[in-house]
Amino acid sequence: MAATSRPHQQDRTWIKRAAGFATVTNAYKNTLTDANRLAWEMAARFIIVHDNIGRTHTMPGRNYFIATNTKLTTIGSALNLVPPATTSVSGVSNVTASATAPGTITVVITPTMLGVNEKYWIAANGPRPLGAQKVPESARLIAAEPASALPINLATVWLINYGPLVANTAIWIQVRVINTVTGITSPYFPARTIVT
């Protein structure tokens, strides 16, 4: 039997990110001044990146500009043509999730207060077998919500991205904080729950 795929509904975030990436790379080539490019190069020297095997390195200014602004355009914020003056952002200290088929996913996040211009960046992975204990490496952005939205019910965006909830499967929700002006994000904080 041939595998079937759902319509491109589930790829909305990917399409949005791809469009944002095109906008951002175009802005880097055609909008930034030489002084802006140099500022991004200088700022990138202080950004430490970890690769898949644990090595650390810095990134080129172009990559820093593109990574920062692709995040911003994905959540509907404006491009940031100058590098962020600060690299600090609130962090997530706890995430709890519960899910009930056919359609309730409740997420509670600590802290419940965020800084100015900050939102929760909520990503998820499709349903996993119950035995899957490891946090999946890639997660799809499904919501960017202000702290005032807590607790958050992700059932509608889950349905759009992954289809109906299925009982006796595991889902991973990963939350981080994003500054909607600078594009700076905190590390992800994962939560696993079983759909009942």
Residues 6+ apart with CB under 8 A from 154: 105, 106, 107, 122, 124, 142, 143, 173
Does residue 58 have a pLDDT over 50?
Answer: yes
Three-state secondary structure call for residue 185: strand
Query: Looking at this protein, which amino acid is placed at residue 94?
Result: N
Residue 3 has pLDDT above 50, yes or no: no
Q: Which helix (H) or strand (E) holds 35?
A: helix 34-44
The confidence score (pLDDT) of residue 29 equals: 92
pLDDT at 5: 46
Contact yes or no for 75/178 (Cβ under 8 A): yes
Residue 32 has a pLDDT of 92
Q: What is the mean pLDDT of residues 99-115?
A: 87
Identity of residue 23: T
Question: What's the Rg (C-alpha) of the chain?
Answer: 18
Are 168 and 127 found together in one domain? yes
Contact 20, 7 (CB under 8 A): no
Q: Which of 76, 70, 189 is nearest to 122 (CA)?
A: 189
Number of Cβ atoms within 10 Å of the Cβ of 41: 15
In this structure, are 99 and 181 located in the same domain?
A: yes
Q: Which residue has the higher pLDDT, 103 or 29?
A: 29
The percent of residues above 90 in pLDDT, for the chain, comes to 20
Query: Any idea what the CATH number is for the domain that residue 186 is in?
Result: 2.60.40.10
Per-residue pLDDT at 52: 65
What pLDDT is attached to residue 86?
73
Residues 189 and 105 both lie in one domain:
yes
Q: How confident is the model at residue 14 (pLDDT cuts 50, 70, 90)?
A: low
| Residue 116 covered by a domain | yes
Residues 100 and 189 in one domain: yes
* Residues 100 and 160 reside in one and the same domain: yes
Q: Of the candidates 64, 63, 56, 58, which has an alpha carbon nearest to the alpha carbon of residue 45?
A: 58
Q: Is a pLDDT exceeding 90 seen at residue 62?
A: yes
Is 86 within the bounds of a domain? no
Q: Which amino acid is at 114?
A: L
What's the domain range around 103? Answer: 94-194
Q: Given pLDDT bands bounded at 50, 70 and 90, which one contains residue 34?
A: very high
Quote the pLDDT of residue 12.
62
Domain boundary, last residue among 43, 74, 105:
74
Question: pLDDT digits over 114-154, tens only?
Answer: 888 899 989 888 788 887 767 767 778 888 888 888 888 88
Q: Residue type for 32, please?
A: L
Most distant CA pair in the chain: distance in Å?
57
The more confident residue out of 87 and 192 is 192
Q: Which residue is it, tokens 């289809």?
A: 163
66 pLDDT tier (thresholds 50, 70, 90): very high
Q: Which residues contact 118 (CB under 8 A, 6 or more apart)?
A: 89, 90, 147, 177, 178, 179, 180
